[in-house]
Amino acid sequence: MTTTLNCKYCNEPLSGRADKIFCDPYCKSAFQYLKRKEKPKSLFEKVDKQLKLNRKILKQHNKIGVTTVREESLLDEGFNPKYFTNYWKNEKGDVYLFCYEYGFLRKFDKRKKLHRFVLVQWQAYMNSA
């Protein structure tokens, strides 16, 4: 009795070697991609992904080097202020948190009664502090 083996990815009948698993390199690559995608992400990958997203959002909103943005607009885009790479403390004692070269400081606007983020870009003078 002969058994016909099928490709693990596309389920087409295989011909050739007896231990063949995939019909061509494309099916092998696609199968491996799906397996990697199903695998749960490591903590490092999750943190790295959030840091990159935070940096991207800060960069989009801060085109001129310093600006102020409503907190909700950043949070709605997926920004998470708990993830940052470094910090800088100014002379007033305000601590700016940074995602790589883009920083933010959460402030309360008393006049409008809402939170805002002051966005800055890393400057050379911040290295000496």
Q: pTM for the whole thing?
A: 0.71
Asked if pLDDT for residue 16 goes beyond 90, the answer is: no
Buried b (16+ CB within 10 A) or exposed e, 100-128: eebbbbeeeeeeeeeebbbbbbbeeebee
Decide if 114 contacts 71 (C-beta within 8 A).
yes
Q: Over the stretch 69-83, which tens digit does the pLDDT of each residue have? A: 999 999 999 999 999
User: How sure is the predictor about 2, in pLDDT bands with cuts at 50, 70 and 90?
Assistant: low
Q: Where are the domains of the chain?
A: 1-39, 43-127
Asked if pLDDT for residue 64 goes beyond 60, the answer is: yes
Mean pLDDT throughout 55-73? 93
pLDDT at 36: 87
Asked if pLDDT for residue 3 goes beyond 80, the answer is: no
The overall average pLDDT reported for the chain is 91
pLDDT at 83: 97
Q: Which of 76, 71, 78, 82 is nearest to 114 (CA)?
A: 71
Asked if pLDDT for residue 48 goes beyond 80, the answer is: yes
